[in-house]
Structure 1
Amino acid sequence: MKQLIYLIFCLVSFVSAQAQDSTTVTTNFKDTLAVKPDTSYWQRSFSGGVNFNQASFSNWTGGGVNSVALGALVAARALYEKDKVSWDNTADLQLGFVTQAGITRKAADQIFLNSVVGRKISPKWDMFGSATFSSFFTAGYRYTDLAANQNRFKVSNFLAPGQLTVAWGVAYKPNDWFAVRISPFAPRFTFLADQGVRFTEGPNKVAVRDPNAVAYGVQPGKSIRTEWLALQLQAALTRNLSENISINAKYLLFANYQTLDAIDHRIDVLLTAKVSKYISTTFGLIALFDKDFSDNWQLQQTLGIGLIYNVSTFRKK
């Protein structure tokens, strides 16, 4: 819960800074209508929100469980463009908890950072280098298929796993809000900073702690796995669909040349619909297929209504 409070604090601090940095700069004091042109070459967007849900019951014959849910999310982007050089940075952060009958569980958790440096070789094509990082803020637990004396079982943590992919290739970039990047050389590093997440499944799929188990592709006794020879494909779309609706979507494919029968896929979608200036509804979806994590597709879906702050300096084209 401390990580969630810290994330909300950062969100409030950013909003306050934006509100203070609103003074118009002029070219001279005699003509206050002459505004100094923007020479920073930066375009920025930020969307941050806090969702809260609560329910309580007292002598309610229909039954029910007292519950409190709190979540925070941030989607930010900073794009630098000057002549033929560009630098595109995105951050998607999410953390949420739900407390029912006095028991707190994690409801959403994501750290996803991406940075891309490119140089134009034609009007719609770039050469680029990129770095992509993903992990979790805090520990994640399994609550089913446990031993009789357990009520939860740790299966993940910050940097357990964490993944960093460094890629080089070419990109098709027809505008500021859509891009497809192909990287024939994309080494990936998988980190396991917490050895306490290693486990196997015993009879009836009951989780059993096992320090000699392979975890997220990282071998026993190791804290990092390196996949040097790999291909990565990325597609990213960040756009306002209308005055009140925006979408932030990404697709990522990763293929190790040595295991082409086990290609990884990840889809991220965040839809935001404004109800009023500071109230909005958000829908988030993460779909992940990685055989080092699970043999099945993994899904995380969130839906919430709450306070949100949006700001953007992107030029309309």
Structure 2
Amino acid sequence: MKKAILFVLVLFASASVFSQEGYEKMRNDLKKLDATHDSLLPKKYWTYTSLFGLSASQTAFVNWAAGGRNNIAVLSFIDFSATYEKRRFKWANDVKLALGGMYYTDSAGKKQGLQKTDDRIDLATSVGYEFKKHWFLTAIGGFRTQFLNGYNFPNDSVPISTFMAPGYANFSLGIEYAPVDYFSVYLSPVASKMTFVRDQRLADAGAFGVTAAVLDDNGNLIKHGLRFRNEIGAYFRVRFQKEIFKNIEMKTRLELFTNYAHNPQNIDVNFENIFTFKVNKWFQASLQWNLIYDDDIKIRDSKGRTGPRTQFKSVLGLGISYTLTNVKK
């Protein structure tokens, strides 16, 4: 009886060993099969990332002692990127669109007009060739403008900006250093910055740095202002985009430009910070800061003085959003 039990145990152990070896062999064969299958599939060169958001709020007052204005606020945005990478060639594209406003009504429900809180069209593309590991010879092009008229409230009858007034286009050729996917530094010694002012009234006033109209001593028009200005100079850019903490992503872009021919010491600055806080798949909060300084843009302050000013915008949003990341085709 003991011999029979011992025989059964030996037989079971042998079967277990052979089964384990068979399992390992089958798993290795499957891995080889998967690798062979993946190598036969066409390579995926495109990578897409996108973020869509919509937020809204409504405020109403009835016999409210502290005061206030009835309003409805809406903010929408699209942040889309598409990148093509094949061997040493890289083509990156970014689309940023935003539009938001606050609609005021009084206690009787009478319309008081729409005031913008955000308005943006920002398109960018870059083409790079990696001549050395992490180093690219890169050409960059970009375009920025807005959708709707802008006003200096409470004056809502005379626009101070509109679509393509201003409009900005840029082109540059330089060297880019990108050691990781989420960080890059770019420097161009040959860059062009083009300013468009489609509205002739604003062009005659010399808005956004274009040449103003020529008037006689009595204020009569002799020659209209130019609606286009081109500047040649140097361009520098730093980009960073990464999830710095769980469900918190930081996206930063710093752009500097200096005009070789006109006040090169006055550097144009465009600095943007965007923090996104993911609540769940559908709800997300975002915090945006945008700082701009352009010596050619003259701004009138509250005391009536006109001159270059540091521009700052902050936007805080909470609402429905959808993120699509790391989709390759």
Q: Aligned to 2:208, what secondary structure does the other structure show?
A: coil
Q: Does structure 2 retain, via aligned residues, the 8 Å contact 1:250–1:269?
A: yes
Q: 1:138 aligns with which of 148, 165, 169?
A: 148
Deviation by residue 1:47-83 (Cα, 9 ceiling, x = unmatched): 1100101111223344322111001111111111111
Q: Aligned to 1:57, what secondary structure does the other structure show?
A: coil
C-alpha displacement at 1:167, in angstroms? 0.3
Q: 1:309 aligns with which of 322, 325, 328?
A: 322
Who is 2:94 aligned against? 90
Q: Aligned to 1:197, what secondary structure does the other structure show?
A: helix
Who is 1:250 aligned against? 253
Q: In the comparison of the two structures, how many residue pairs are matched?
A: 264
Alignment of 1:210-249 (within 5 A): 211=204, 213-219=205-211, 220=213, 221-227=225-231, 229-249=232-252
Report the Cα distance in structure 1 between the residues aligned to 2:250 and 2:123, rounded to whole angstroms: 17
C-alpha displacement at 1:46, in angstroms? 0.1
TM-score norm. by structure 1 comes to 0.79
Q: Does structure 2 retain, via aligned residues, the 8 Å contact 1:143–1:153?
A: no
Equivalent position amino acid for 2:313 in 1? Q
Equivalent position amino acid for 2:135 in 1? W
Equivalent position amino acid for 1:163 in 2? Y
Report the Cα distance in structure 2 between the residues aligned to 1:235 and 1:68, rounded to whole angstroms: 37
Radius of gyration: which is bigger? 2
In structure 1, list runs of 5 or more residues that go unmatched. Answer: 1-30, 145-149, 199-210
Report the Cα distance in structure 1 between the residues aligned to 2:44 and 2:164, rounded to whole angstroms: 35
Q: 1:103 aligns with which of 94, 113, 122?
A: 113
1:114 lines up with 2:118 in the alignment:
no
Q: 1:155 aligns with which of 138, 153, 160?
A: 160
In structure 2, list runs of 5 or more residues that go unmatched. Answer: 1-33, 106-111, 214-224, 299-307
Q: Does structure 2 retain, via aligned residues, the 8 Å contact 1:143–1:152?
A: no
TM-score norm. by structure 2 comes to 0.76
C-alpha displacement at 1:303, in angstroms? 0.3
Report the Cα distance in structure 2 between the residues aligned to 1:69 and 1:37, rounded to whole angstroms: 49
Alignment of 1:277-292 (within 5 A): 277-292=281-296
C-alpha displacement at 1:114, in angstroms? 1.2
Q: Does structure 2 retain, via aligned residues, the 8 Å contact 1:142–1:152?
A: no
Instruction: Percent identity, please.
Output: 29
Equivalent position amino acid for 1:189 in 2? M
Q: Aligned to 2:165, what secondary structure does the other structure show?
A: coil
C-alpha displacement at 1:95, in angstroms? 1.1
Bigger share in helix: 2
Equivalent position amino acid for 1:233 in 2? F
Two-structure CA RMSD over aligned residues (Å): 1.9
C-alpha displacement at 1:91, in angstroms? 1.7
C-alpha displacement at 1:151, in angstroms? 4.6
More deviation in 153-162 or 55-64?
A: 55-64
Equivalent position amino acid for 2:128 in 1? G
